[in-house]
Structure 1
């Protein structure tokens, strides 16, 4: 079953955590010094905020799946729609180890399709280099 994912860049993490916790009626499921994530069931949503996004506001959206087979099906749907995709393969970002692919919609909004395998203690595999949220889409790259 797919879960909608939205990642928003924020300037003040603590203020944003207070706002979204009140809005959702729940505390974050994951909390780091630069990142917070809510895993909501109603609506079925993975909502994340961070101070690492390239811009304030909507950074990207995506669909999180529960297993590799479901990710393969989602990738096939992207290909069938003639969407140029970029596959990161297995990567660490947003404090999780995941298998990811990226597309951009006609308006330039980045979408990721991913399956999370486990939590990670670092934000991204490239910790030494400042990275956009979730390692960012690679526009125009095909996989």
Structure 2
């Protein structure tokens, strides 16, 4: 695992950017009208905030990895942990292009594991047929029919998403 990931929904982006910039002693690495992200080294975390329609608070937690092989290995660990694993290949989310695996822990906290391989010009792809809610780029895992985790992240959720 290369970098811990936290995504918060916030009510006031500007106030939150000021707060977290002071807390982290750093400006966001990515700053958009509805989104900000800090790629911190100490602690090593991808910390993102957005104002995209969900209630303020933790949206999801996760791990960002550096390769598709690491993503596949982490997907196997998620599968072994007993959660339903929902893969998303080549998705656009949070102004980035990524392959992902989603799951929920026993309490219902959403977990995202992902490998980012490029930038995007939009927050999300906006595919109406996709189970991803667009508000936060994270799928409603319970509404999707996950496939067993594969050796690679080549397979999209059965819903035909993304």
Distance in 2 between the 1:82 and 1:11 partners?
34
Q: List structure 1 segments (4+ residues) > 6 angstroms apart after TM superposition.
A: 127-130
Query: For the Cα contact (< 8 Å) 1:53–1:59, is it kept in 2?
Result: no
Query: For the Cα contact (< 8 Å) 1:97–1:120, is it kept in 2?
Result: yes
* Alpha-carbon offset, residue 89 of structure 1: 1.4
* Alpha-carbon offset, residue 62 of structure 1: 0.5
Query: For the Cα contact (< 8 Å) 1:7–1:60, is it kept in 2?
Result: yes
Query: For the Cα contact (< 8 Å) 1:8–1:48, is it kept in 2?
Result: yes
**How many residues are treated as equivalent by the alignment?**
143
Q: Give the match for residue 82 of structure 1.
A: 82
* Alpha-carbon offset, residue 54 of structure 1: 1.9
The 1:84/1:41 distance shift into structure 2, 3 A limit, reads same
- Give the unaligned 5+ runs of structure 1: none
Q: Give the match for residue 134 of structure 1.
A: 137
Q: Give the match for residue 9 of structure 1.
A: 9
* Alpha-carbon offset, residue 138 of structure 1: 2.0
Q: Give the match for residue 110 of structure 1.
A: 110
| TM-score after normalising by structure 2 | 0.83
Distance in 2 between the 1:111 and 1:53 partners?
19
Q: Which has the higher strand share?
A: 1
Distance in 2 between the 1:48 and 1:98 partners?
15
